[in-house]
Structure 1
Amino acid sequence: MSADAAAPSVRVLLCDDHAVVRAGLRALLASAPGIEVVAEAGSGEEALARVAALGPGGLDLVLMDLQLGAGLDGTETTRRLTALPGGPRVLVLTTYDTDADITRAVEAGATGYLLKAEQPDDLFHAIRTAAEGRTALSPPVAGRLMARMRAPRPALTDRESDILRQLARGLGNRDIARALFISEATVKTHLGRIYAKLGVETRSGAVAMAKEQRLLP
């Protein structure tokens, strides 16, 4: 018997809110040597319960979708799973490839990020790679991460940073003006400049982009 054949299987939990998708993945992974689907979950809460029931070390990897309907999303579920003592690795498998989705998943502790358009053999390889604790990324995802690392962060003035911090607290223009001892007109002027620098059009968009760009403490 070869060393590969003797190696223990990678124990996987499937987390996707679509039963048909889980069934398809289970059937697909059944054809992959060295990979065993031991549980599945249709929500983030169910995934956490399944992992808890299996106990520390009872699972090697969770194959995680990002959009899970109501309740915990894939990113928050990933954060909670990877914080568990002896918890499993998490490999994101999703159709979403925006910079924000990728960044949040990686920061939450995901070992890899794969797109559902990948070929089966690439999925099998990524599962084994991620289970070993090594990074597994779809080529488009790796390209996006590299581009983000090369791109300089927007340069905000001290006053713009002050306003952005107040914005993140949920304050309106009037309250920001009072907090910083400036006029509402000045706040609006600075907000226009902040939006332009961050490439957004809304207050919530500015806060989300600022967090993504690590412009907020």
Structure 2
Amino acid sequence: MPTEPAGIAVVDDHDIIHTGVAARCARADPPIRVISAHLTAQSFLANYPQANGTLSAVVLDLELRSRQPDFDALTAIVDAGHTVVMYSHLENDEIILRCLDIGAVSYLAKSEGQHHLIEAVRAAGTDEPYVGPRMAAAIWADSTVGRPGLTERELEVLNAWFQTESKDVVAQRLHLSPATVKTHLQRIRAKYAAAGRPAPTKAKLVARAVQDGLLNIDEL
């Protein structure tokens, strides 16, 4: 079962979104605390320059103070070690996939309904990703039938994790933060889930990787 989040932050340039997300989170069972809300990524990072366990997720809009996707804001927040759930009205497959490649653990369209947001926030505190309808469609469109397309870095993290029992060891080996390693693994699981081949455990993930020729069993 997902663990209860320590609290979330909302970064959106419309304060009505702050109010709406906080109200929906308060009605969740059990409630989710919105402990910080910001109009800009700069304001958020001034208060949370590095992930420190206070926040389980950052709910981030993709358009901040402009009508253009702000991928730089997402990159900066991910690079600071935060777990990011995108929450945007943009539904273009290419945009969704780019956000996932940068490091967002989930992407939700605002048109999908706030119950998806609650599920995504709860999942952000676990190793299990939440795949909403638009995110699933984008991943599916980007993959061959049944086989997700993993990036070179995802494959590197996956192989390193298969060879050790600790994400911290993987992080040290690849010079990444533990939070970044976790994000890569969440995204890999999300891609398998969207392809109709969920891999909720490490054993299942090993099996999928061997089936797809991504891993030689002799390497373990």
1: CA distance between counterparts of 2:47 and 2:69? Answer: 16
2:24 counterpart of 1:22: no
Residue 107 of structure 1 and its aligned partner are, at CA, apart by 1.3
Amino acid at match of 1:94: S
2:8 counterpart of 1:12: yes
In the alignment, is the contact (CA less than 8 A) between 1:11 and 1:38 conserved in 2? yes
| Change in 2 beyond 3 A, CA 1:102/1:55 | closer
Residue 80 of structure 1 and its aligned partner are, at CA, apart by 1.6
Q: Which residue of 2 aligns with 1:120?
A: 114
Residue 13 of structure 1 and its aligned partner are, at CA, apart by 0.2
TM-score by length of 2: 0.58
2:85 counterpart of 1:91: yes
Paired residues, what number?
A: 144
Residue 50 of structure 1 and its aligned partner are, at CA, apart by 2.4
Identify the match of residue 143 of structure 2 among 129, 132, 149. Answer: 149
2: CA distance between counterparts of 1:118 and 1:94? Answer: 10
| Change in 2 beyond 3 A, CA 1:58/1:112 | same
TM-score by length of 1: 0.59
Q: Which residue of 1 aligns with 2:58?
A: 62
Q: Which residue of 1 aligns with 2:43?
A: 46
| Change in 2 beyond 3 A, CA 1:55/1:92 | closer
Unaligned runs of 5+ in 1: 152-217
* Matching of residues 63-212 of structure 1 within 5 Å: 63-70=59-66, 74-84=70-80, 87-150=81-144
Unaligned runs of 5+ in 2: 146-220
SS at match of 1:149: coil
2: CA distance between counterparts of 1:133 and 1:81? Answer: 19
In the alignment, is the contact (CA less than 8 A) between 2:5 and 2:55 conserved in 1? no
In the alignment, is the contact (CA less than 8 A) between 1:43 and 1:72 conserved in 2? no
SS at match of 1:137: coil
SS at match of 1:92: strand
Give the ranges of 4+ consecutive aligned residues of structure 1 lying more than 4 Å apart after TM superposition: 70-74
Identify the match of residue 37 of structure 1 among 34, 39, 42. Answer: 34
SS at match of 1:93: strand
Sequence identity percentage: 25
Bigger Rg over Cα: 1
Moved more, 20-29 or 106-115: 20-29
| Change in 2 beyond 3 A, CA 1:72/1:88 | farther
SS at match of 1:136: coil
Residue 34 of structure 1 and its aligned partner are, at CA, apart by 4.3
Provide the alpha-carbon RMSD of the alignment.
Answer: 2.6
2: CA distance between counterparts of 1:80 and 1:96? Answer: 20
In the alignment, is the contact (CA less than 8 A) between 1:41 and 1:50 conserved in 2? no
Q: Which residue of 1 aligns with 2:201?
A: none
